[in-house]
């Protein structure tokens, strides 16, 4: 969740090596945002179904994984759930050392048909750059803001977001910054706080504090913007600006 | 807990950006030791009180957070508890990637009055450089030794230290080094071992082994010094010296 | 588990500092692979026995610890268990920031006699380079493959491997890559899947997916090789080759 530099659009023009990987029928693509990769498995082996506890009706998997970033990938996967006939089977948040103060991610879609699984991975990769737009990072940490007017099943699974309602994420790292951001956010607008994360609660020990909020679309946006406004000067307080990783969308 | 270089005194002369942040009334200061930041919230929103489970009588919060270091911040916060009318509401230890083999930190003070909360943050930041004095680090890991003649409520909360008694921390990273340090420490003096930490016990999976000890002031100091003496050559065994991050105080 | 460059043979020619450390009778050696260090404690203090819950009949400890790598150290320790009169008392997996997407390690051997403990540490360090041979790494992650024709008590303790039978580890990081590797592995050969690891299951939140397998020696090797073959192009898909950290042995 902390890319310091804004990479090129995603999916990137494939390198020679990426072309080699695409010789594997399971390879869907890579994205420089968060060093994300997407794969598909047409017919998962029964032994893997069993140890991982996946319902066997989902014989095809779509898989998204990243070194850096969980929020953007989860948001993009939520768009994919809306657009395809798939379900979320697993969302896990590694504490990856490439991710600065935040998480990496592993997201598994289940589908009865491999074309659905592949489509879910493609939609996720296509939407990923957008959701790095309100990630602001420097060497000291990062802010992450996310917004959707209509949450779907990925956000329900991960954050308990009410389906179909506006949803927002307000996050600061290091954690001290997040504490002020979440207070400013809830003071600014009438939103429902769904849950919070901190180093020892709802994270994999990442150095982040965040809340997830739901409610009226305008209120959710207002809370997010209020959090962002106090977070920026705090993250810059050690002396570095904190630019957007891509193009702000909120 | 692993700053490789000794930064300037803390609070640092504020940069332009820090000045900008201090335009926020909640901003108290930053410290280059551990990339630590201190904030205050005068009147925490009730929704945040509720999700985080804070007693509502503490309407004001003082907040300390760092990318690198938990021990020094905890020791400094213990001095702040002695000096102010505040309580410790939360101490969490992120597994931050800027921290080498060790932790970052998030410490929350609760107060009924915002001036007390602010004072606690200021005292913590003022005392922080001292407690980096017996942190010895190189690219391979770090040693951390801490001592106080009189433990207060922050050390009681985090480590179960008997209040008012001498307290010591003997820690080595990577964990293999800590194993020998703690054995040497308890062999050298008659101290009570309060608890230990290891990658899978009492840490957030950090690569550290430590013990906390209590007892007679002279014995506690002797145990700490014995641990330090065996730790230094082991940390230097890959070929780098391990200088103090500031000025040794034990 | 992710050394980007192949270091020299291990134990390395000792540096001046390592010579200084070897002035400590407890120091056994360091290895550049994984920044691993080995120590011995002839007569562990009873207070440490008690807090760590070690059986007191093991008065001597051999200790291996590393910043980077758990699999290679565990495999090498398994060789040491076969060769010495020692037991495994502790295997812990720190989430060390030097380890890229994977773990560091802390392994404790117990022995009734210090010469056995020392020998276990020496055998582990001697065998360590071999087990970095099928670690393939670049800036994006790593693959780890391990094989033994005959598992011993270290592998039993850590992975539940049936003692005396062939054992294999198939691991990819970031986790997305491991998902395809484990599916390819079990499809290629008739092996028993013992367990799996993922960021939230059986790891310390590392960005890895792996399975451990047991069975006929030829089948185990075939599964490992099948996993390796799909892992390499996926890890190279961001544009970097992923060379072996040493000399492949499988």
Summarised one tens digit per residue, pLDDT across range B192-227 is: 999 999 999 999 999 999 999 999 999 999 999 999
Q: Which of C22, C39, C204 minimises the CB distance to B176?
A: C39
Q: Where are the alpha helices (DSSP H) in A94-152?
A: 114-131
Q: Which of B41, B25, B159 is nearest to B111 (CA)?
A: B41
> Residue A244: enclosing H or E segment and its boundaries?
none
- State pLDDT tens for residues B114-160: 999 999 999 999 999 999 999 999 988 999 999 999 999 999 999 99
Any A CB within 8 A of C193 CB: yes
What stretch(es) of chain C map to CATH 3.30.70.1710?
A: 16-134, 136-238
Please answer yes or no on whether B179 and C39 come within 8 Å at the CB atom.
yes
Please check whether residue B168 is in contact with residue B147, taking contact to mean a CB–CB distance below 8 angstroms: yes
Does residue B15 carry a pLDDT above 70? no
**Chain B closest CA to A60's CA: distance in Å?**
34
The interface predicted TM-score (ipTM) is 0.89
Q: Give the span between the Cα atoms of A58 and C207, in whole angstroms.
A: 24
C neighbours by CB contacts (3+ pairs under 8 Å): A, B
Please check whether residue C210 is in contact with residue C172, taking contact to mean a CB–CB distance below 8 angstroms: yes
Can you list the positions of beta strands (E) in chain A?
Answer: 27-31, 36-41, 60-66, 87-92, 105-111, 135-138, 141-148, 166-173, 192-197, 209-215
Q: Which of B34, B175, B189, B147 is nearest to C204 (CA)?
A: B175
What stretch(es) of chain A map to CATH 3.30.70.1710?
A: 16-133, 136-238
Q: Which of B168, B150, B171, B149 is nearest to B212 (CA)?
A: B168
Please answer yes or no on whether A24 and C186 come within 8 Å at the CB atom.
no
- Within 8 A of A18 by CB-CB distance, chain C residues are 237-239
Furthest C-alpha separation in chain C: 53
Residues found in chain C: 250
The CATH superfamily of C16-134 is BMC (bacterial microcompartment) domain (3.30.70.1710)
B16-133 folds as: Alpha-Beta Plaits (3.30.70)
Report, as ranges of residue numbers, the positions in chain A whose pLDDT lies below 50: 1-9, 12-14
Please answer yes or no on whether A174 and B16 come within 8 Å at the CB atom.
no
Given this model, what pLDDT does residue B98 score?
75
Given this model, what pLDDT does residue C155 score?
96
Give me the mean pLDDT over the B9-27 stretch. Answer: 63
| Probe site for chain C from B211, B237, B240 (most C CB atoms < 10 A) | B237
| Probe site for chain C from B69, B160, B175 (most C CB atoms < 10 A) | B175
Q: Which of A94, A171, A100 is nearest to A138 (CA)?
A: A100
Q: Which residue of A has its CA nearest to B96?
A: A101
C136-238 folds as: Alpha-Beta Plaits (3.30.70)
Please answer yes or no on whether A106 and C205 come within 8 Å at the CB atom.
no
- State pLDDT tens for residues B31-72: 889 989 999 999 999 999 999 999 999 999 999 999 889 999
Report, as ranges of residue numbers, the positions in chain C whose pLDDT lies below 70: 1-20, 22, 99
- State pLDDT tens for residues B77-124: 999 999 999 999 999 998 887 767 788 999 999 999 999 999 999 999
- Close Cβ partners of C107 (under 8 Å, ≥ 6 residues apart): C63, C64, C65, C73, C74, C77, C88, C90, C91, C124, C154
Given this model, what pLDDT does residue B6 score?
38
Please answer yes or no on whether B92 and A177 come within 8 Å at the CB atom.
no
Q: Which residue of A has its CA nearest to B205?
A: A205
Given this model, what pLDDT does residue A2 score?
41
Q: Which residue has the tokens 């330090």?
A: B228
Q: Phi-psi bin for C89: left (phi > 0), alpha (psi -120 to 50), beta?
A: alpha
- Within 8 A of C238 by CB-CB distance, chain A residues are 15, 17-18, 30, 32, 35, 37
Tokens encoding C215: 């069975």
Given this model, what pLDDT does residue C83 score?
95
Q: Give the span between the Cα atoms of B124 and B108, in whole angstroms.
A: 11
């Amino acid at each position: 969740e902390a890319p310091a530099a804004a990479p090129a659009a995603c999916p990137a023009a494939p390198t020679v090596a990426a072309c080699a990987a695409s010789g594997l029928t399971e390879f869907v693509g890579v994205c420089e945002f968060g060093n994300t990769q997407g794969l598909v498995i047409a017919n998962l082996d029964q032994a893997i179904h069993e140890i991982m506890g996946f319902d066997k009706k989902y014989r095809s998997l779509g898989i998204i994984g990243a070194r850096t970033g969980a929020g953007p990938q989860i948001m993009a996967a939520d768009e994919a759930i809306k657009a395809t006939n798939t379900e979320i089977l697993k969302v896990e948040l590694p504490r990856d050392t490439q991710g600065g103060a935040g998480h990496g991610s592993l997201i598994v879609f289940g589908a009865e048909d491999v074309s659905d699984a592949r489509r879910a991975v493609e939609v996720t990769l296509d939407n990923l750059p957008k959701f790095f737009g309100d990630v602001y990072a420097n060497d000291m940490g990062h802010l992450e803001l996310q917004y959707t007017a209509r949450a779907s099943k990925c956000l329900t699974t991960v954050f308990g977001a009410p389906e179909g309602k506006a949803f927002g994420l307000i996050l600061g790292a290091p954690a001290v910054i997040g504490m002020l951001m979440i207070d400013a956010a809830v003071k600014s607008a009438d939103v429902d706080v769904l849950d919070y994360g901190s180093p020892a609660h709802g994270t994999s020990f990442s150095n982040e504090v965040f809340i997830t909020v739901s409610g009226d679309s305008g209120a959710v946006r207002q809370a997010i913007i209020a959090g962002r406004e106090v977070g920026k000067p705090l993250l810059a307080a050690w002396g570095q600006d904190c630019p957007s990783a891509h193009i702000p969308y909120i």
